[in-house]
Structure 1
Amino acid sequence: MNHLQSWPEPVVRVQALSESGLTKIPDRYIKPITDRPSPKNLDDTHINIPVIDLQNLLSNNQTLQYETLSLISSACKEWGFFQVVNHGVSHELMKQARETWREFFDQPLDLKQKYANSPSTYEGYGSRLGVDKGAKLDWSDYFFLHYMPASLRNQSKWPAVPQSCRKLIAAYGEETVKLCEKLMKVLSINLGLGQDHLQNAFGGTKDIGACLRVNFYPRCPQPDLTLGLSPHSDPGGMTLLLPDENVSGLQVRKGNEWVTVKPVPNAFIVNVGDQIQVLSNAIYKSVEHRVIVNSVKDRVSLALFYNPKSDLLIQPIKELVTKDRPALYQPMTYDEYRLYIRTKGPCGKAQVESLKHR
């Protein structure tokens, strides 16, 4: 991984660009015409991804339980995305987590620079994905940190300002990981497997990987020319996204259309990652998505990535491989797999497609 030790050119903080008062964005951020959001894409009138109430999973009414399982199953197959309400995570904790990160990004640049990251781990304060020199860049800054396994958890790399940040990260990480474990059981049951089968394929509960990426999308004077995050599918297992409730930005590909997700209050957006697409032998879909930016408002979102143990071989679960549906993907560890996006940056579905047997 020597080629990932440093960025290929000086890193520019997008927030600093935005706050400088510029009226035109630099060429580095202007996307090819085919990749730009059209006025229709920037409109917020689209249909929404499924919204699912998890409370019914705890009901003694088997019909309600079955209906909820069925809704999640359909969402994983048809959308790769859904929103969950009544999920058990404290609404106050969700609000405080968003606010503490907004406060971090409001800090002076020299304070944030103390946490500047490198492409060797990506942990810390960053502004780009991928190490290709001269690549087109996204209109966003971020903070990336490890939460699981506990051996990788290094609080000294977490922001010390605001004062509440480290404590909130720990509490938020604990609650969101628990929710991911519940959802893993649901996904496993829906695949016709034992409730712990998918979790065991990830390496159990203690050795899984969980990391947090907090995204900051500054105001942009020309939002029709760029993107906050280029089209990609998530390389990990499952993503739990806490969106900015005040500003829509996430778009999900549905066929040839981009659907703008309307965040529901106190909901998480859940999406299937590439590793679950591989394990399910493409019964569940890891779907391409991107982020548009706004000329009036900044956006903050928190993405908790729930991933397999990094050195385990991930391949289609044998119970889901049949004569009519042979294994679609070659085995690969998550360590090997994520190196692709860390090197290339977001590139649609090219990554998971590259695993397919030829």
Structure 2
Amino acid sequence: MTATIAPSRVESLASSGIESIPKEYVRLNEELTSMGNVFEEEKKEEGSQVPTIDIKDIASEDPEVRGKAIQELKRAAMEWGVMHLVNHGISDELIDRVKVAGQTFFELPVEEKEKYANDQASGNVQGYGSKLANSASGRLEWEDYYFHLSYPEDKRDLSIWPETPADYIPAVSEYSKELRYLATKILSALSLALGLEEGRLEKEVGGLEELLLQFKINYYPKCPQPELALGVEAHTDVSALTFILHNMVPGLQLFYEGKWVTAKCVPNSIIMHIGDTIEILSNGKYKSILHRGLVNKEKVRISWAVFCEPPKEKIILKPLPDLVSDEEPARYPPRTFAQHVQYKLFRKTQGPQTTITKN
């Protein structure tokens, strides 16, 4: 059985019994050559591995222990721009609640989820949706999602948060609050590592009142031809920081030193990406890494991403003067966050190899 017209939801398409995917989901030839079996990829022990950073020592009372931990974070942020955070201070119980709430929502019938559907054409991006084709390649991604602002509390719209399951609002609210504390801890350490005052990067991305946490559940159904499709195409995040949980099904790949590296599943960890915003502020010292998501035919993959974003118009993003010199001139022009997003959208229309955030 072969489908020619894709329904609006990937989940519906995946459960329809098709054996081959519609052409809109088949990736470009230059992408296909580097896509393998994600379960085999994850088992590889040789080659580069995504670093694991122990967060508890960053808050140590011992200056030597703290200094060493900050340097390890700095090295990972400069070399990779992505890492597994362990001992991050958020309880396993709360993380499990967030995962159960998200998984339970996606287990609802599609018609129930459609009550929360967004309308991207009108600019209403919050809610339940599927990725529209980009104008460069015309390809679709093998993914449905649920997206909404989750913090600060006074800026969120609870009317578009799922009522089922009942624990969704309490669990995601508490998790977002905890993540906000973690973001402060990370931004402080990243500031100190660059020789800046502890609160500098946090201030530059909006501080406690203006930094927005955008919550996105990514749902990747089983795919009958995973060697032809991507859950998420190659992109960098526009955010300051991105924090990701997942259901321990591999899929994340990073483009590191000219090769695609598959991230291992590290129990009780949170994956953290440095986003474009911090790369710009650090004048390229910290790295926003190109990454993508593979799919498979055996297991559904779910990830829970939180994008920490500066306000769209209030702040001019540019390399901090402290990090610019004659030897290291500014590598990025001044832009608001909104202008940076538009710049990446515009670049996306210029050819298939450029990138865009998955917010």
Same fold (TM over 0.5): yes
Matched, 1:333 2:336: yes
User: Runs of 5+ in structure 1 lacking a partner?
Assistant: 1-8, 353-358
1:158-216: CA deviation from partner (whole Å, max 9, x where unpaired): 11111111111111111111111110101111111001010111122111111011100
1:109 is aligned with what amino acid?
Answer: V
Residue in structure 2 matched with residue 193 of structure 1 by the alignment:
196
2:41 to 40, 43, 59: 43
After TM superposition, give the deviation of residue 53 of structure 1 in Å: 1.0
Residue in structure 1 matched with residue 227 of structure 2 by the alignment: 224
Q: How many residues align?
A: 343
Distance in 2 (CA, whole Å) between partners of 1:98 and 1:32 is: 33
Q: Distance in 1 between matches of 2:157 and 2:190?
A: 31
CA contact (8 A) 2:136 2:352 kept: no
Q: Which residue of 2 aligns with 1:212?
A: 215
Q: Deviations over 1:51-85 (max 9, x none)?
A: 11111123333332122111111111110111111
Q: Distance in 1 between matches of 2:352 and 2:189?
A: 29
CA RMSD after TM alignment = 2.2
* Other-structure match for 2:119: 118
CA distance in 2 between counterparts of 1:118 and 1:24 reads 28
Residue 336 of structure 1 and its aligned partner are, at CA, apart by: 2.4
Shift, 1:10, TM fit: 8.8
Paired residue for 1:13?
Answer: 9
Aligned to 1:55: 56
Matches within 5 A, 1:78-157: 78-119=79-120, 120-129=123-132, 132=135, 135-157=138-160
Q: Does the 8 A contact of 1:278 with 1:315 survive in 2?
A: yes
1:317 to 297, 312, 320: 320
Helix, strand or coil: the match of 1:205?
helix
Higher mean alpha-carbon deviation, 295-304 vs 343-352, is at: 343-352
Gaps of 5+ in 2: none
Letter in structure 2 aligned against 1:23: E
Partners of 2:294 and 2:153 in 1: CA distance: 34
Q: SS at the partner of 1:20?
A: coil
How far apart are 1:237 and its partner, in Å?
A: 0.8
CA displacement 1:225-266 (0-9 Å, x = unmatched): 011000000011110111222x11100110211111112111
Return the offset for 1:33. 1.7
CA distance in 2, matches of 1:251, 1:127: 21
Tell me the equivalent position of 1:258: 260
Distance 1:322 1:121, change over 3 A: farther
Aligned counterparts of 1:276 and 1:130: Cα–Cα separation in 2: 28
Q: Which moved more, 1:296-305 or 1:114-123?
A: 114-123
Alpha-carbon spacing, 1:178–1:342, altered in 2? closer, same or farther (3 Å): farther
Q: Could you tell which deviates more after superposition, 24-33 or 11-20?
A: 11-20
Change (3 A) 1:117 1:302: same
Give me the whole-angstrom Cα distance separating, in 1, the residues matched to 2:63 and 2:214: 35
Preserved CA contact (<8 Å) 1:147 1:212? yes
Shift of 1:294: 1.1
Contact 1:128/1:137, CA 8 A, preserved across alignment: yes
Following superposition, the deviation at residue 340 of structure 1 comes to 5.0
Match of 1:6 in 2: none
CA distance in 2, matches of 1:144, 1:98: 15
Tell me how far apart the structure 1 counterparts of residues 305 and 330 of structure 2 sit (CA, whole Å): 30
TM-score, normalised on structure 2?
Answer: 0.90
1:101-157: per-residue Cα shift (whole Å, max 9, x none)? 111111011111111112214111111056639820010111110123444300011
- Are the equivalent residues in 2 in contact too, given 1:213–1:302 (CA < 8 A)? yes
Q: Aligned to 1:137, what secondary structure does the other structure show? A: coil
Alpha-carbon offset, residue 39 of structure 1 = 2.8
Contact 1:233 1:349 in 2 (8 A): no
Amino acid at match of 1:337: H
Name the SS for the 1:43 alignment partner: helix
What is the CA–CA distance in structure 2 between the aligned matches of 1:231 and 1:303, rounded to whole Å?
A: 16
